[in-house]
Structure 1
Amino acid sequence: MTDDTDPLAWTRDYTPILRSLAAEYGETQPLAGYSVALASHLEQKTGVLVETLRDAGATVLVTGSEPHSTKAAVVDALRDQDGIETFVEAGMSDEEWAAGQHELLEREPDFILDDGCELIVKVHADHPEIAETVLGGGEQTTAGITRLEAMEADDMLSFPVYGVNDTPMKHYFDNVHGTGESSLSNVMITTNTMLSGKTVVVAGYGYCGRGIARKARGMGAQTIVTEVDPRKALEAHMDGHRLAQMAEAAREADYVITSTGNRDVVRGDHLDALPDGVILANAGHFDVEIVVADIEAAADRVTEPRDGVTRYHLPDGRRINVLADGRLVNLTGPHSNGHPAEVMDTTFAMMFEAARDMLASEGKDLTPGLYAMPDRLDRAVANRKLETLDVEIDDLTEHQREYYEDWEHADSAF
């Protein structure tokens, strides 16, 4: 019988892929003898991933990828379980959180599953001797992949890393639907305002930005996209969004939601353009996209009209509202629950498969560097997802398979 007082019970009901992996690999335990370090937003879905890794035999060393998204009930639920060690607490300061990550790394993990490249960067920068002993890693965020690409360009990586973020199962579901839905729902819950008929400026049109923009427009908002990449800008244009530079778009904004993976997206240069009552929210990994310090410096008074909303009163009477202190709005706000469990089920299944594949099977002999996740793993997770939905799809016939493999199409008439 399910214990509904367990803080992970509800989430387990909505993560059938992880439960199927735990059931399958709980018998063979392919991760037995390995320690897996996990840095992620420590809330309910992450808790189920931790249990799945442990059920597959791993000793799991757990920390948060962001100090303000940790849920106390989840830490308590994991701390009491065998095979799991926690290095994070709810309410930690930034300094305490970083110290916990270093303490975890000093345990010399065999594998690192990361979010934002937090542990991978720290182990290389501050514990290079430990980095040499790490067997591999996996990264689930766009921001983290950007850092890994820079590390690889500088020939800094000491071990192979699977870029989980760049798989179709991550891009098209977690980034588009997970970020889109969770960001907008938390903006609306925090502010108790509606999007319909409002102008929403979305900074960045990567997978996350396009999810936010498409869903905002689907809810009746007018959407403006800002971009620095001409190809993504053209994609936004062809998807029906208006395009503008931030200095122009800000003048019309009821909401500005940043999702670029870069810094200083809304900054002091834009303050004169922002209208009274504008709502600013960040959906990027780090709290650098909205330069809150610039807004604070320009304000002559600061208030908190609602839990999770900081209002900056400018000398000319305009009010600028910043949600979640400019941190991840879908994870660090007072009402935030992160992505829906169903979509994190696929992402965390990919993270699990990254560890299992590299530690226990084909990926063992990879040299240091950033690698695409093998397509076979992505397809396997997709098939598990379809099974949980009780959906069947067609198989290729032998003739169709031969057609794909015959580049000359010699018998195409037959």
Structure 2
Amino acid sequence: MSPVSHDADDPLAWAREYTPILRSYQEEYGETKPLSGYTVAFASHLETKSGVAIETLREAGAEVLFAPSEPQSTHGDVVDALDAREGITAFAWEGMTDDEFDAAQHELLEEEPDFILDDGCELIAKVHAEHPDVAAQVIGGGEQTTAGITRLEAMEEEGILQFPVYGVNDTPMKHFFDNVHGTGESSLTNIAITTNSIVSGKDVVVCGYGYCGRGIARKARGMGGQTIVTEVDPRKALQAHMDGHRVMDMAEASEVGDLFISATGNREVMREEHFEKMQDGAILANSGHFDVEIDLEALEAAAESTSTPKEGVTQYHMPDGRRLNLLAEGRLVNLTGPFSQGHPAEVMDTTFAMMFVAAYDMLVDGPDLEPGLYNIPDRLDRAVAERKLETLGVSIDDMTESQQAYTEEWEHPDSSF
């Protein structure tokens, strides 16, 4: 692989060093341009790693239109650098309001993209709801988040999806690494940096024990936190229990927690009856896609006043003298805080590689798929894993002929059973 550019004025230079899979696609497809003739819409948190993903699509020949999936996580230097390139168009800028964010996404969709790579089902939901003529012409899409998959499942259930979508979030090369390690490490890192407080010794309440919650809880315990998990699914609650975490309902956990981190993908996980029980100085953070997991209206209504004791921290002063500290205004703590940089580049390399192969498979290989939500073919997931191991210099075994035959036979004549 060719060396990485170290242009001091290039905001993507450092991220490229830690995204070798994406760089390998740039080198492999930079001359043949297999995505030429297609326009790909890309929505995500617009920072350095997503910038490398966007330039990878362009290197492969696509015209790329990009917009944010969250208005407060946009890095202006990344947007400007990408927008200056031929064949890449930005529908974003740093400091967008919620209304500007919404309008920019609609403006992008009016350009009639052929393919949509999405985060939170932002573009896919909007194109169906308000641009049905455009949706009817879209070839396919890919979705990288749990929240987005939930929305797509609801759309499929209602029978309104107009094109096939690969559920990138649910493929092993995404949720085993991005959700567990990316969300886990980046959430806790940004909480620690924003608050300048220690995790060790704190009662850390993790709301939700999906892949993201699992990663947060595991890493919080590794940092010395006394972990508590809340859940609505009895099986996930049992899994958390067997993994060594205390399991409580939110009513009980709200009385003992020092640090609360929500990662459920649902709304109002922390609400009025919980705020009433929380201890003085409790820290509240959200790691879910949308800013709905903490009931902000109820928190504001319960407080007598607010202050900003530290950048990125809003302190709610309750009538009884307690102070509750909300991070990043209840938005994604690992992406929208004052010092947030999102997931580590190494783990986003695998996620964005899966997004790239989702587009490549539908646009170039052209599987005959009806509209609906699909798992990414295992062959694609496995190929990205092999490429990742190659970039790490890690080797694995191949099965022998007899081992392969053993896996394919339902009768084992040499067995003693």
TM-score tier (shorter): over 0.9
Report the alpha carbon displacement of residue 411 of structure 1 after superposing the two structures with TM. 4.5
Report the alpha carbon displacement of residue 160 of structure 1 after superposing the two structures with TM. 0.1
Mapped to 2, the partners of 1:234 and 1:409 lie a distance apart of 36
> Deviations for 1:22-64, whole angstroms, at most 9, x for unmatched residues?
1101122111100000000000000000000000000000000
Counterpart for residue 394 of structure 2: 391
Unpaired segments ≥5 residues, structure 2? none
- The question of whether the paired residues in 2 share the 8 Å contact of 1:403 and 1:412 is answered with no
- The question of whether the paired residues in 2 share the 8 Å contact of 1:19 and 1:52 is answered with yes
Q: After the TM superposition, which of the residue ranges 220-229 and 395-404 deviates more from structure 2?
A: 395-404
1:401 aligns with 2:407: no
Unpaired segments ≥5 residues, structure 1? none
Mapped to 1, the partners of 2:359 and 2:22 lie a distance apart of 14
Counterpart for residue 262 of structure 1: 266
1:62 aligns with 2:37: no
Mapped to 1, the partners of 2:295 and 2:241 lie a distance apart of 27
Instruction: Choose from 340, 349, 374 the match for 1:371.
Output: 374
1:106 aligns with 2:110: yes
Alignment of 1:233-272 (within 5 A): 233-272=237-276
Counterpart for residue 356 of structure 1: 360
TM-score between the two structures when normalised by the length of structure 2: 0.98
- The question of whether the paired residues in 2 share the 8 Å contact of 1:200 and 1:222 is answered with yes
1:120 aligns with 2:117: no
Alignment of 1:234-313 (within 5 A): 234-313=238-317
Report the alpha carbon displacement of residue 2 of structure 1 after superposing the two structures with TM. 2.4
1:147 aligns with 2:151: yes
> Deviations for 1:239-298, whole angstroms, at most 9, x for unmatched residues?
000000111001111100000000000011212210000000000000000011111111
Report the alpha carbon displacement of residue 4 of structure 1 after superposing the two structures with TM. 2.6
Mapped to 2, the partners of 1:93 and 1:132 lie a distance apart of 30
Letter in 2 for 1:173: F
SS in 1 for 2:125: helix
Report the alpha carbon displacement of residue 410 of structure 1 after superposing the two structures with TM. 3.4
Counterpart for residue 187 of structure 1: 191
Report the alpha carbon displacement of residue 356 of structure 1 after superposing the two structures with TM. 0.2
Report the alpha carbon displacement of residue 408 of structure 1 after superposing the two structures with TM. 1.7
Report the alpha carbon displacement of residue 412 of structure 1 after superposing the two structures with TM. 4.5
Counterpart for residue 332 of structure 1: 336
Letter in 2 for 1:225: V
Counterpart for residue 84 of structure 1: 88
1:168 aligns with 2:166: no
Aligned length: 412
Quick one: percent identity of the two aligned structures? 70
1:341 aligns with 2:345: yes
- The question of whether the paired residues in 2 share the 8 Å contact of 1:4 and 1:10 is answered with no
Mapped to 2, the partners of 1:198 and 1:247 lie a distance apart of 18
1:39 aligns with 2:43: yes
Mapped to 2, the partners of 1:409 and 1:152 lie a distance apart of 42
Mapped to 2, the partners of 1:192 and 1:292 lie a distance apart of 23
**Alignment RMSD (CA, Å):** 0.8
TM-score between the two structures when normalised by the length of structure 1: 0.99
> Deviations for 1:81-110, whole angstroms, at most 9, x for unmatched residues?
111001111111100111000000000000
Q: After the TM superposition, which of the residue ranges 183-192 and 395-404 deviates more from structure 2?
A: 395-404
Instruction: Choose from 50, 54, 70 the match for 1:50.
Output: 54
Counterpart for residue 25 of structure 1: 29
Mapped to 2, the partners of 1:412 and 1:403 lie a distance apart of 10
Runs of 4+ in structure 1 deviating by more than 4 angstroms, as ranges, are: none
> Deviations for 1:354-386, whole angstroms, at most 9, x for unmatched residues?
0000100042x1110000000001001101110
Letter in 2 for 1:370: L
